[in-house]
Amino acid sequence: MNDNPRRRIPRTDLLLALPEVRVALGRVSKARVREAVDEVLRRARAGELAPEAVEGAVVDAVGRLEVSSLHPVINATGVIVHTNLGRAPLSPAATRAMVDAAGYTDVELDLGTGRRSAYRGAGVITALLEACPAAQDALVVNNGAAALLLACAALAEDREVLISRGELIEIGAGFRLPELIESARVTLKEVGATNRTHLQDYQQALGDNTGAVVKVHPSNYLISGFTAAVGTAELAGLGVPLIVDLGSGLLAPEPKLPEEPDIAAQLRAGADVVIASGDKLLGGPQAGILLGTGEAIAKLKSHPLARAVRMDKVRLAALEATVASGENLVRSALYADTHARTQALAHATGGQLVEHSGRVGGGGAPEYPLPGFAAAYPEGLAAKLRQHGVLARVKDSRCLVDLRCVPAARDAWLTGLIRKLV
């Protein structure tokens, strides 16, 4: 008599007929359900799972299936614009706008005439110009890198672009601005030294083939000590288009970050185009924002690359809502006072209240501390928290839970989770 336990493993067709599996088929694709069932059967056939446990394991596996592989995460690191977590969290206004824009919208339609509108994203352009009156016109593209690529291509294609050696930045994931700029079919001409660049360096490099000057704000690093750089106002007097890439994206001065330049000031100083990311200090979705003179922005809008790097309707709606509503979770986190909340968390969970400086993150305000507090625990807690979608900071062999970016409404849940895990 053959008592091989594999003979007791349920057949695939019977598992697919389970009520819970049929419910899952109404939520996710058949392929993903079948993959989950096959994985449970593989474990059973390998002897990792008893035949009697297969049905329950299948029900559990299909119950966890989601249509997206992305999982919500509680950011307890103290880093506000956390690149690995998708940078800026969207405000409720922006989230509602994205949902509203998910169906059919008038993104390129004039409802009054019934004809195609003149320009996609007119609403967000209006909102940006109202928020930054120093700009004559604006354009929004896919991200900050796309904005710089388009600006260089439209203003200096087949010509030279001057840039300080101290501003040849690597922006992450191995991508470097010099290579990005050169892909716009321009010739990059470096001026000055790594630590010191003077106006004379730019003047000596100017020639009949100079198409533009690019000034990049070093938003993800600092050069200190014996340094010198040329300001926007001086560069604006060189007589060629000036592109200023700020990166982090302040429309106006932020008292909490006094060293971080803002777009309006650069435009008033004479920049032709100023570039910023939408998903950093602005607190919106991923976007490349270009604000500048009417003449410069017109050239950008008419360049063929503008079509290739344009924004989709959902993010256009989110960006407009971010700018127009004034709701900004990044700014709220900048000013967050978490002392009482953190003290209560530490007291309820056996943690230790410690001073902890947060950061802007995402290539903004490098090395600029945001004084605050954290609850400290043994280092091993961090890995357990990640299994429940909570990312804490590990430093000096301790797990630090910083509530700066954690919604107050989640405090009770987080307290219960830590008490369970400690």
Mind listing the pLDDT tens digit of every residue in the chain (422 residues)?
A: 456 777 889 999 999 999 999 999 999 999 999 999 999 999 999 999 999 999 999 999 999 998 888 889 999 999 999 999 999 999 999 999 999 999 999 999 889 899 998 788 899 999 999 999 999 999 999 999 999 999 999 999 999 999 999 999 887 777 888 899 999 999 999 999 999 999 999 999 999 999 999 999 876 677 778 889 999 999 999 999 999 999 887 899 999 998 889 999 999 999 999 999 999 999 999 999 999 999 999 999 999 999 999 999 999 999 999 999 988 999 999 999 999 999 999 999 999 999 999 999 887 777 788 999 999 999 999 999 999 999 999 999 999 999 999 999 999 999 999 999 98
200: helix, coil or strand? helix
Tokens of 29: 């694709």
Tokens of 275: 């570039």
Parallel, antiparallel or unpaired: strands 170-172 and 273-277 = unpaired
C-alpha to C-alpha distance for 36 and 64, rounded to whole angstroms: 10
- Single-letter amino acid code for the residue at 369: P
C-alpha to C-alpha distance for 292 and 299, rounded to whole angstroms: 11
Name the β-bridge partners of 187. Answer: 160
- Residues 24, 63: contact at Cβ < 8 Å? yes
- Residues 222, 366: contact at Cβ < 8 Å? yes
pTM attached to this predicted model: 0.88
CB atoms within 10 A of CB 384: 17
237: helix, coil or strand? coil
